[in-house]
């Protein structure tokens, strides 16, 4: 029986729904979930509250996105003010001032000549936008044959057709096939045989960038538009770039006129103990994709930031011509801009990126303290990120980590799993005692799961 809820009241937001059927959940085993739903109803600071009134410590900043912690008053009030002032403004041949303010503040945070921001609503849209900008750039630059896009095995670049084509996670493509034929992939950098239990960047593996040179020989540089990588691969289970690997990718791209795109949807905004991975690793890409921490996830928003030369190359031709035939109804949405400006202010005022860097050694020590626990085969840490890899149950990949995830949730800790890897990325406001709680809970859980 479905009880109707008064449209005015939002009582529906805090109680278990009577009927779960109508909703089709994303990236979720729907039938398994609906048999035992996990519902969150409120959030503040480092905690969620579940529908049954339990406090859940957030070990994952939501989905790698609530970097400043939940329920930040500055963001709430900025969104409320903007919502009362103006709900929406069209973004094509029109604009509103907050977009310009945000773009300026954002590019001021980024290194080098990453100077022009294009707004989207998600990481997936940012990725597809960056790929399209790369193609448009080469066309504007007199190299229209450069149309191939190179990704990397185990890469995650969201769910658009562009993103899944350059992405390298088989499960994300096999239902849809690869619709972008002009793609190829570099090998991934996961090499536990050499780098097991590595703290920070592994020493072994810079040469794993060299296959890019082979792809250039195979396809011809004149056919390749761009290479896209996550500087640290997050969704595939925290794969940290080997020392010198990203530099080598940059060198090969430069040698052959190929654009380098860093997908910083996860690594942006302090996650690695620096503002951005490109800063941390001192490698400036041509395009950066951002989302998640940009608004502290309070309102959906993504962005692509381009180097000056890319923007300039497109700002040619007749002035009345639209230079890039691309955009979203909600590009630069006023509420998202308000949330982002407030979020960037919090990062600055609370010095959260430096805080993450200061906490990183404690985090590393605590998480690596789990290395002798049951089932653990590898641990990787960088900034405030960790990947804990478990031995798979024979014939049931992912099952052990999934059980660990549900057991942790019952014990009041939100974790994330991908395959048999537990991925951790707490908000950057996490306290040491909470780091201990995260690690103690996971340790106990690993002893309990079969
Ligand atoms: N790129 C990377 C590196 C990501 O980690 C994600 C999401 O986790 C995306 C793109 C897609 O972002 P969204 O889910 O906002 O579309």
The Cα-based distances of 118 to 149, 163, 306 in angstroms read 20, 17, 8
pLDDT of residue 173: 85
Q: Running DSSP on this structure, what letter comes out for residue 70?
A: B
- Taking residues 76-102, report their average pLDDT: 98
Per-residue model confidence (pLDDT) at position 7? 59
pLDDT score at 179: 82
- Per residue in 118-168, pLDDT tens? 999 999 999 999 999 999 999 999 999 999 999 999 999 999 999 999 999
pLDDT of 3 > 70? The answer is no
Q: Is the pLDDT of residue 4 over 60?
A: no
CA of 318 to the centre of ligand 1 (A): 35
Atom of ligand 1 nearest to the CA of 267: 3
Averaged pLDDT for residues 98-112? 98
C-beta of 156 in contact with ligand 1 (< 6 A): yes
Atom of ligand 1 nearest to the CA of 291: 15
Average pLDDT over residues 368-387: 98
Q: Has residue 6 got a pLDDT over 60?
A: no
Between CA 427 and CA 198 the distance in angstroms is 22
Q: What is the pLDDT of residue 332?
A: 98
Residue extents of the structural domains in the chain: 11-68+351-448, 75-349
pLDDT of residue 5: 47
pLDDT of 318 > 60? The answer is: yes
Q: Look at domain 11-68+351-448 and name its CATH class.
A: alpha beta
State if residue 157 touches ligand 1 by the CB under 6 angstroms criterion. yes
Q: Which CATH number is correct for 75-349, 3.20.20.80, 3.90.1150.10, 3.40.640.10, 3.30.390.30?
A: 3.40.640.10
* Residue 266 CB less than 6 A away from ligand 1: yes
Burial letters 80-103, b for 16+ CB under 10 A, else e: eebeeeeeeeebeeeebebbeebb
* Ligand 1 atom closest to the CA of 123, numbered from 1: 12
In the reported structure, the alpha carbon of residue 238 is separated from the centroid of ligand 1 by a whole-number distance in angstroms of: 14
Q: Could you give the strand order of the β-sheet that contains 413-414, starting from the edge strand earlier in sequence?
A: 40-44, 47-50, 55-58, 413-414
What is the distance in A from the centroid of ligand 1 to the CA of 76?
24
- Rounded distance from Cα 136 to ligand 1 centre (Å): 22
The model's confidence at residue 1, banded by pLDDT at 50, 70 and 90, is: very low
User: What distance in angstroms lies between residue 88's CA and the mean position of ligand 1's atoms?
Assistant: 25
Mean pLDDT of 84-98: 98
Confidence band for 177, pLDDT divided at 50, 70 and 90: confident
Please give the number of the atom of ligand 1 that sits closest to the Cα of 127. 10
């Amino acid at each position: 029986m479905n009880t109707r809820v008064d449209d005015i009241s939002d009582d529906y937001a805090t109680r278990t729904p009577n009927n779960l059927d109508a909703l089709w959940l994303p990236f979720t085993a729907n039938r398994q979930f609906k048999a035992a739903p996990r519902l969150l109803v409120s959030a503040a600071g480092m905690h969620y509250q579940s529908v049954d009134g339990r406090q859940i410590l957030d070990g994952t900043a939501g989905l790698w996105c609530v970097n400043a912690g939940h329920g930040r008053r500055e963001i709430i009030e900025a969104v409320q003010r903007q919502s009362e002032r103006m709900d929406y403004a069209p973004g094509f041949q029109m604009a509103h001032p907050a977009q310009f303010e945000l773009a300026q503040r954002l590019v001021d945070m980024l290194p080098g000549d990453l100077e022009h921001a294009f707004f989207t609503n998600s990481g997936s849209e940012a990725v597809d936008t960056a790929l399209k900008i790369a193609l448009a750039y080469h066309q504007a630059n007199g190299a229209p044959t450069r149309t191939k896009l190179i990704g990397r095995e185990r890469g995650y670049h969201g769910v658009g057709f562009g993103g899944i084509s350059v992405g390298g996670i088989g499960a994300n493509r096999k239902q849809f096939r690869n619709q972008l034929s002009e793609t190829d992939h570099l090998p991934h950098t996961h090499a536990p045989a050499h780098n097991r239990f590595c703290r920070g960047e592994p020493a072994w593996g810079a040469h794993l960038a060299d296959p890019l040179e082979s792809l250039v020989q195979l396809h011809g540089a004149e056919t390749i538009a761009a290479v896209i990588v996550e500087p640290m691969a997050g969704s595939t289970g925290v794969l940290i770039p080997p020392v010198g690997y990203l530099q080598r990718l940059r060198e090969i791209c430069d040698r052959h006129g190929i654009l380098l795109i860093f997908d910083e949807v996860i690594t942006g905004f302090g996650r690695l103990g620096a503002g951005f991975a490109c800063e941390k690793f001192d490698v400036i890409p041509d395009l950066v994709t951002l989302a998640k921490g940009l608004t502290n996830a309070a309102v959906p928003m993504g962005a692509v930031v381009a180097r000056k030369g890319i923007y300039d190359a497109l700002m040619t031709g007749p002035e009345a011509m639209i230079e890039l035939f691309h955009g979203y109804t909600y590009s630069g949405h006023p509420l998202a801009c308000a949330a982002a400006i407030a979020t960037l202010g919090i990062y600055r005022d609370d010095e959260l990126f430096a805080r993450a860097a200061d906490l990183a050694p404690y985090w590393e020590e605590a998480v690596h303290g789990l290395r002798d626990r049951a089932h653990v085969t590898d641990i990787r840490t960088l900034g405030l990120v960790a990947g804990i890899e478990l031995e798979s149950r024979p014939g049931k990949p992912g099952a052990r980590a999934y059980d660990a995830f549900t057991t942790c949730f019952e014990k009041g800790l939100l974790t994330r799993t991908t395959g048999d890897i537990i991925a951790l990325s707490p908000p950057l406001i996490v306290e040491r005692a909470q780091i201990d709680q995260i690690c103690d809970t996971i340790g106990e859980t690993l002893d309990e799961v079969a």
